[in-house]
Structure 1
Amino acid sequence: MTLWAHVVPFGDSTWTLPLAAAIALALLLAGYRAHAARWLVCFSAGIAMIVAGKLVFDLGGWSLPSIGFYSISGHAMQTTAIYPLLFMMILSAFGTRAARWGFYLGLAAALFMAITLLSGNYHTLSETLAGLVVGGAVVCSYLRWQLSFRPAHLASLVLLPLAAAVLVDMHGTVNPAKAALWQRAAHWLGATEKYTRQIYTDPASGMRLVSVRLRSILSSCSP
């Protein structure tokens, strides 16, 4: 397994959704109700954009092949939205300057995820940049926020994701739920075919190419 395959799961919903919930809980425990509500609304809006974009391509084939854009990268969006705020909150226990550096550390993690997505042929450059922009829009309103957390408030940032990892099979819960919602959306929209895109590197020229395929939803669902 390559380095990229080890990094990518940290931007997957099975890991980021518990972190997003932990951030909201920590904000509520610290008395930042308005910030918690804003976080949930903004993060949910970002997720909605990702889902809408994927449905538009998967079921309708909409894309901009001239710039290599087929859908917004959910990994890039969630990483950019979550990790700067998460690290900022954790390091706020050491003061305002440490909190600010935590924000920059989270941005560095998001950029590293972006490089991972490109190097591993998970997303194109335009898809990754779009994810970074949407995630940045979610989190940047917190950049100049003056934090005041106690260690007890921040405990949920560790305990909730750990509890989700130990007590709940997130892959067994999130992935079937996403598949079921996708199938229901296809039924509502009357879609019978699904578009998929694959990024690969041409061994002869070394160029990165994109292949788009169309297949029947019924055949893809059959055992």
Structure 2
Amino acid sequence: MPDLPVHLWYLITSLGGAGMTLPLAFAIALWLAIGYTWRMAAGWLLLLGAAIGVVTVTKLAFLGWGVGVRELDFTGLSGHAMLSTAVYPVALFLVLLRTPPPVRVLGVLLGLVAGMAVGLSRVVLSAHSPSEAITGCLVGALAALLFVRMAWNAEPKRLSALPVVASLVVLAVLTHGVHVPTQRWVTHIALKVSGHDRPYIRAKWKAARNVRPAAAPLSQTRNALAPARTFDL
């Protein structure tokens, strides 16, 4: 495990927040629609949406019904790991589309490494277990690589790298640190759909096989419903 100061781990983990990655994802779709085709933009959004759906379903299943894998300490995919591993490879691929194939491959690999670094930060900061970070990275990488395979031979019509790079950098700077309370939203949906008054809590779920949601301390429930800066999704 890299021995980095805690504030650097928080900086790394912030790169996977929905407040930053989702605006970048929509900006990518916009550039794809402008410089290539609406079909490519729609394909990218569909792949990312499917990945987000997988993350959401696993989280709803645990928070609402306690569905998980105790042996792996798995309570749902890491959204930070998934989003960063999906968005950053595609962003670099878009920027490098006019470059030779080896350069594009290198860009995609760098994006995947960035996403894996975010996944590692989630484990270091105790936001997720290793199994949750790894599966999040795998789902995000799958979405990114499927899109790259689909768009590999795309011919840009009226798109140069400079405005794409400038817009993505400016957007990243403006949205860095923006908090989107995704965990609170998912928790509210899980309680509404399941009909339970309390979400399942990791610690009690790991301690016993027949944990009832109502047995969770109210203080833990409030913490689960309260906005968190870095531990959502």
Q: Could you say whether these structures have the same fold, taking a TM-score greater than 0.5 normalized by the shorter chain as the test?
A: yes
Identity %: 28
What residue ranges of structure 1 are gaps of 5+ in the alignment? 199-209
Q: Do residues 72 (structure 1) and 77 (structure 2) align?
A: yes
Aligned AA (1:146): N
Q: Do residues 196 (structure 1) and 201 (structure 2) align?
A: yes
Q: TM-score, normalised by structure 2?
A: 0.75
User: 1-side partners of 2:119 and 2:141: how far apart?
Assistant: 13
Distance 1:216 1:60, change over 3 A: farther
Residue range with higher mean Cα deviation, 157-166 or 12-21: 157-166
Aligned residues: 208
* Correspondence for 1:48: 53
Would the aligned equivalents of 1:59 and 1:186 in 2 still touch at CA under 8 Å? Answer: yes
Q: Do residues 129 (structure 1) and 131 (structure 2) align?
A: no
Aligned AA (2:167): L
* Correspondence for 1:146: 153
What residue ranges of structure 2 are gaps of 5+ in the alignment? 1-5, 209-214, 227-233
SS in 2 for 1:70: coil
CA deviation after TM superposition for structure 1 residue 42, in Å: 1.1
- Name the structure, 1 or 2, with higher relative contact order (CA <8 Å, separation 6+): 2
**What's the CA shift string for 1:176-211, capped at 9, x where partnerless?**
x7635642442233121112336xxxxxxxxxxx77
User: 2-side partners of 1:10 and 1:104: how far apart?
Assistant: 17
Aligned match for 2:86, one of 74, 81, 85: 81
Q: Do residues 155 (structure 1) and 157 (structure 2) align?
A: no
| Richer in strand (by share) | 1
Distance 1:65 1:47, change over 3 A: same
Distance 1:102 1:165, change over 3 A: closer
Q: TM-score, normalised by structure 1?
A: 0.78
* Correspondence for 2:109: 104
* Correspondence for 1:27: 32
**What's the CA shift string for 1:51-93, capped at 9, x where partnerless?**
1111111121111111221111111111111111111111234
Would the aligned equivalents of 1:192 and 1:217 in 2 still touch at CA under 8 Å? Answer: no
